[in-house]
Amino acid sequence: MLLGAIEGGGTKFVCGIGTIDGEIIERISIPTTTPEVTMDQAMSFFSNKGIVAIGVGTFGPIDINPLSPAFGSVTSTPKPYWSGYRILDHIKQRMDIPVGFDTDVNAAALGESVWGAAAGLRNCLYMTVGTGIGVGAIVEGNLVHGLMHPEMGHIVVNRHPMDSYAGNCPYHGDCLEGMASGPAVEKRWNTKAMLLGDSHTAWELESFYIGQALANYILVLSPEIIILGGGIMNQKHLFPLIREQVKKRLNGYVDHPVFASDLETYIVPPSLGGSAGLCGALALAKKALMK
Amino acid sequence: MLLGAIEGGGTKFVCGIGTIDGEIIERISIPTTTPEVTMDQAMSFFSNKGIVAIGVGTFGPIDINPLSPAFGSVTSTPKPYWSGYRILDHIKQRMDIPVGFDTDVNAAALGESVWGAAAGLRNCLYMTVGTGIGVGAIVEGNLVHGLMHPEMGHIVVNRHPMDSYAGNCPYHGDCLEGMASGPAVEKRWNTKAMLLGDSHTAWELESFYIGQALANYILVLSPEIIILGGGIMNQKHLFPLIREQVKKRLNGYVDHPVFASDLETYIVPPSLGGSAGLCGALALAKKALMK
């Protein structure tokens, strides 16, 4: 029994075919151009593959309220052509199978909870730090949706005392994403992030911002594990710096044995590595099938 | 069919008898002294009342993990005598009925979701601003627990530019609770909060802090309604100020019609008024009975 998966990103759509056990057996990458062209290419890939359900984890913001008339569409995005585009309708016109539809980060959180680092846990958080900062969460076994879906990348952070960068979020200036996304790092230092040496002050600031955001998420959601992915987190030396900042911020307040540890098993990279997003979409397909 | 309810606070324990429909038919208030004396008085109240389940919503931090050996106890509290006290065991030794046990704020959130302002909704937030700042949340119909339980009152906030008060949280200094709890307001202005006039600058600062915290909770949890209770929120003029701050902070980013409104139906006082806590404990009893 095969499932389809779409990891919809601002630069590329990765499409895959996988099994119900999370094994990806085929994948392609399609550039994100106009929605019609991109989605047509994606649907062609899936045709005649015999898939029984499909999952879509996509960039947003998106409408994930099944009761809303705009359910399954991209809402207001600065990305040209995509505002208001009805992804779900496009798929349903082509295929009469169950479709799972959620944010890219909720999908990744689900994938890690089904087959990855959060397997067996009922509460987890997945954060990606790259072009933007996105976070997906599972609470008591359910993806967090609510009124629409979380946008945790935009929470308030305190500035590092040495940091005079204004922040580049068009809505909030110096919110978390405005201070700690990949483009923010590059604009602050006028250098590609991957070219900044491991001992560059950039990483002290980066861990300061990510660490305080994680401390906040811990205080609000009390996740059982935190998974950090995305381009910036390929800088593996950030992990110990971030763990240290989290402990410093919480300052012994959250009374659980895990916070007396070095957090090495609490703040971790994705088990599914670069496939976290695609496996997440596969997990959405599996969930849609089981429903 | 009658249920018992205990709202355990740092100053007093309110005990009540109520119906499965949330009607409180009898209540008493017991001063919080040593745990043995306080709990003995509570148990005497409930004896021979014919209750079929009991719910406890209590101050904390508490251990609410059913798999933990310390399940049902108060963990590390500065409150004399209560650290490590096993509330649940005390009750179970006296009564062989189902017991619901959770934080005071989770109980209040549950009460409001069963019989109050959040009835019919699957996602809500209840915040109390008083001696401390506590928040309970329901996500997709479940109380948020996770690794332990949320401690949202301690999130990071940005300082108001006019505010030089150091903050009074013993763990974090100027976290939300350190800046905006009742005692913080009173220490900052050296006046009882209830004696500060409606136009006092204190309330601009207070709404600034509470508003940014709510904006953060909205970004993380996407609640369908936010209920604000506690002593400080008896200052009803704070509601419009807080709603304005929330809108200012989100700055149009969260693309949902509710945020284009004046938020009058989104950020509200408890429907259950001063009984939110006790009704919450009653809802915990009902939940324990249904389980």
Closest-CA distance, A47 to chain B, in angstroms, reads 34
Nearest to B258 by CA among B218, B231, B229, B288: B218
Give tens-digit pLDDT for A173-216.
999 999 999 999 999 999 999 999 999 999 999 999 999 999 99
The CB density around residue A197, as the number of other CB atoms within 10 Å, is 8
Residue of A nearest to B155 (CA): A216
Least CB–CB distance from B144: residue in A61, A135, A139 = A139
- The amino acid at B155: I
pLDDT value of residue A275? 93
Structure token digits, residue B168: 């009074």
C-alpha span between A174 and A180 (Å, rounded): 9
Look at B219 and A256 and tell me if their CB atoms are within 8 Å: no
Closest-CA distance, B171 to chain A, in angstroms, reads 6
Look at A150 and B219 and tell me if their CB atoms are within 8 Å: yes
**CA R_g for chain B:** 19
Cβ contacts below 8 Å, chain A against chain B, sum to: 139
Give tens-digit pLDDT for B198-254.
999 999 999 999 999 999 999 999 999 999 999 999 999 999 999 999 999 999 999
DSSP A123: -
Element (H, E) at A179: helix A176-180
Confirm if B95 and B46 have CB atoms less than 8 A apart.
yes
Closest-CA distance, A45 to chain B, in angstroms, reads 32
Residue of B nearest to A255 (CA): B76
Confirm if A239 and A269 have CB atoms less than 8 A apart.
yes
Peptide bond connecting B78 to the previous residue in cis, omega within 30 degrees of 0: no
- For the cut 90, the answer to whether the pLDDT of residue B78 exceeds it is no
- For the cut 90, the answer to whether the pLDDT of residue B67 exceeds it is no
Give contacts of B146 with chain A, Cβ < 8 Å.
123, 139, 221-224
Least CB–CB distance from A221: residue in B123, B215, B220 = B220
Domains of chain B: 2-107+274-290 (3.30.420.40), 119-269 (3.30.420.40)
Q: Which residue has the tokens 């997709």?
A: B140
pTM for this predicted structure: 0.96
Confirm if A259 and A238 have CB atoms less than 8 A apart.
no
Give tens-digit pLDDT for B135-181.
999 999 999 999 999 999 999 999 999 999 999 999 999 999 999 99
Look at B216 and A252 and tell me if their CB atoms are within 8 Å: no
Look at B156 and A249 and tell me if their CB atoms are within 8 Å: yes
Give tens-digit pLDDT for A60-78.
899 999 889 999 999 988 7
- For the cut 90, the answer to whether the pLDDT of residue B27 exceeds it is yes
Q: Give CA separation, A261 vs A175, A252, A266, A267, in Å.
A: 29, 11, 9, 11
DSSP A183: H
Give tens-digit pLDDT for A97-139.
999 999 999 999 999 999 999 999 999 999 999 999 999 999 9
C-alpha span between B132 and B130 (Å, rounded): 5
